[in-house]
Structure formats: C-alpha cells, structure tokens
Amino acid sequence: MLPRITIDDAKCKVPLDCGKCLRVCPTQVLNLYCNAPPQKFREIDPSHYRVRGVHLLACSLCMECVKVCPEGAIQVAFGEGG
C-alpha cells in the first residue's frame, strides 16, 4: 500500500517562499507542481506553485515533512483506515 500525502493548499499558499518540506524529505517524495500554463517571455506568479507527493513508493513514513511544515498543511496517512 502507498501512503496518502495530503497538502492543504489553503495553508501552503506560496511554497517557493518556504520549501522546508521539499528540503527535509530524505527520499525526495515531495515535488513542486505548477498549475499555470507557461507563457513566453513571462515569469509565472509564485502563487501558482503547489507541493505534491509524487514518488510515493519512496516514502519511508519518517513524517519529517509534517514536523517541519510551519503551517501544518501536510498530512501523511498509511493503511486502509488512514
């Protein structure tokens, strides 16, 4: 079974300003996702970036991402009752 990693986007508003969860994960499970289409010769507004769990098989359930998140935006669950 794979863990379920949930990130509350309402709490994690601009992950580029923080990025603590991205740096602390020993297996690089978390990654940045951009929900805006690229525009030629324009920068993408940082508020369009989101953190997502992408390499779930590598998750060791260390919970470091949950501990380090200053906003309490990350939840990790494992098992059927989660």
Domains within the chain, CATH numbers bracketed:
4-77 (3.30.70.20)
The better pLDDT of the pair 45, 30 is held by 30
Q: Model pTM greater than 0.85?
A: no
The better pLDDT of the pair 80, 64 is held by 64
* DSSP assignment string, 34-58: E-S---TT-PPPGGGEEEEE--GGG
> At residue 4, does pLDDT exceed 90?
yes
Beta bridge partners of 7: 74
> At residue 50, does pLDDT exceed 70?
yes
Percent of the chain scoring above 70 in pLDDT: 96
